Amino acid sequence: MPEVVIVGAGPTGLACGIELKKLGIGAVLIEKGCLTNSLYNYPTNMTFFTTPELLEIGGIPMTSLNEKPNRTEALKYYRRVAEYYQLDIRQYERVLRMDGADGAFTVHSMDRFGKAQTHAAKKIILAMGYYDIPNKLHIPGGDMDKVIHYYREPHPYYGLEVAVIGAKNSAAIAALELFWTGAKVTLIHRGDRISDSVKYWIKPNIENRIKSGEVKAYFQSSVKAVYADSIDIETPQGIVQVKNDFVFAMTGYRPDFEFMAALGITLDEATQKPRTNPETLESEVKGIYLAGVVVAGVHTNEIFIENGRFHGAAIAASIAGAR
Ligand SMILES: Cc1cc2nc3c(=O)[nH]c(=O)nc-3n(C[C@H](O)[C@H](O)[C@H](O)COP(=O)(O)OP(=O)(O)OC[C@H]3O[C@@H](n4cnc5c(N)ncnc54)[C@H](O)[C@@H]3O)c2cc1C
């Protein structure tokens, strides 16, 4: 029986498994999708804003043909690291709930054949990320199939009327790639301009497309309703209805607060940050640790691979100490 069950095999979960292994503590990683499932679901042609050495885990060097790695290079790197450390990873197995207490937990999951599985463990690490739950639009038509929260690549939208909601990195990249691929792009944002957090090599590009009118932009505006062939945009000048085939709602994502709350973990009312010991990342529920972006609550831009990768060492040291 492994001592520790890690929920999630993203970069943080992998780092936790490695640090535990280095201390001779057995762990199994349970992953509902493929290895680093969130990274796999990122835009196909995505380039990380981080340089390779800041994405490294387990002391394994990461290389890239470019100054910043792309999604394919990152996927290959994390596969190689998982292989090098011979981590015990159960892919396509979703953790549904867990019960028990410190020293004797039971984790209940469902594998890809729909078969119920259970795993006993003395300690639990939740490294479940945030990319699986999009911030929905909550407007009429907001749940239509044509409303997409996960941009992958532009080709299927060639020649079509596409709206992009948002003005941060994901929205800017989607809008540019769709424009370059021949889609007719309309960008809608509540703020008055493209966010300053947009990568420096992208910001001037999207701003120039907007200035030249190649990408139509509605700032200080929001989408009020989605219909089969159009959308209503509330602008400072009133409601505007525009032709539309697809809506990319780049409105961000959030951790699974319900899952944590069901375990008895207290979430801060304002930030939804789970209450943890800042040194060890142990939650109030003894024996349950939180790692990676899940500790950031709604402020998911505070924890990313660059800093979440260090959570593993702190947690492993605490578990070793608790032995
Ligand atoms: C487009 C984009 C670009 C980014 N670029 C960068 C960058 O350049 N540099 C950087 O540092 N960060 C970047 N980030 C942020 C970074 O990817 C995340 O912060 C990082 O993935 C968090 O790692 P994690 O392991 O905590 O979570 P995740 O990578 O999300 O991993 C969590 C894992 O848990 C699994 N899981 C969830 N629920 C369950 C369950 N119930 N049962 C089993 N498994 C479960 C998920 O499938 C997933 O694989 C970017 C994010 C996005 C969206």
142-158: per-residue pLDDT in tens?
A: 999 999 999 999 999 99
Q: How far is CA 99 from CA 119, 121, 123, in A?
A: 11, 10, 12
Ligand 1 in contact with 69 (CB < 6 A)? no
Question: Is residue 309 lining ligand 1, measured as CB closer than 6 Å?
Answer: no
Enumerate the H helices of the chain as residue ranges.
11-22, 37-40, 71-84, 169-180, 203-211, 257-262, 305-308, 311-322
pLDDT of 104 reads 97
Q: How far is CA 192 from CA 120, 174, 184, 217, 236, in A?
A: 52, 19, 21, 10, 11
95 lines ligand 1 (CB under 6 A): yes
Whether 4-133+253-322 shares its CATH topology with 147-249 is answered: yes
CATH code of the region 147-249:
3.50.50.60
**Mean residue pLDDT across the chain:** 97
- Which atom belonging to ligand 1 lies closest to the Cα atom of 68? 8
- CA 153/CA 174 separation, integer angstroms: 8
The ranges assigned to domains in the chain are 4-133+253-322, 147-249
Nearest CA to ligand 1 atom 6: 48
pTM: 0.95
Residue bearing tokens 């800041």: 54
For the stretch 262-303, pLDDT in tens is 999 999 999 999 999 999 999 999 999 999 999 999 999 999
Fold of 4-133+253-322: FAD/NAD(P)-binding domain (3.50.50)
**Which residue lies with its CA nearest to atom 52 of ligand 1?**
42
Nearest residue CA, atom 31 of ligand 1? Answer: 10
Q: What is the pLDDT of residues 185-204, one digit of tens each?
A: 999 999 999 999 999 989 99
Contact 30, 148 (CB under 8 A): no
| pLDDT tens figures, 47-101 | 999 999 999 999 999 999 999 999 999 999 999 999 999 999 999 999 999 999 9
Residue 13 has what pLDDT? 98
pLDDT above 90 as % of the chain: 98
219 CA → ligand 1 middle, Å: 29
CA 248/CA 149 separation, integer angstroms: 6
In this prediction, residue 118 has a pLDDT band, given cuts at 50, 70 and 90, of very high
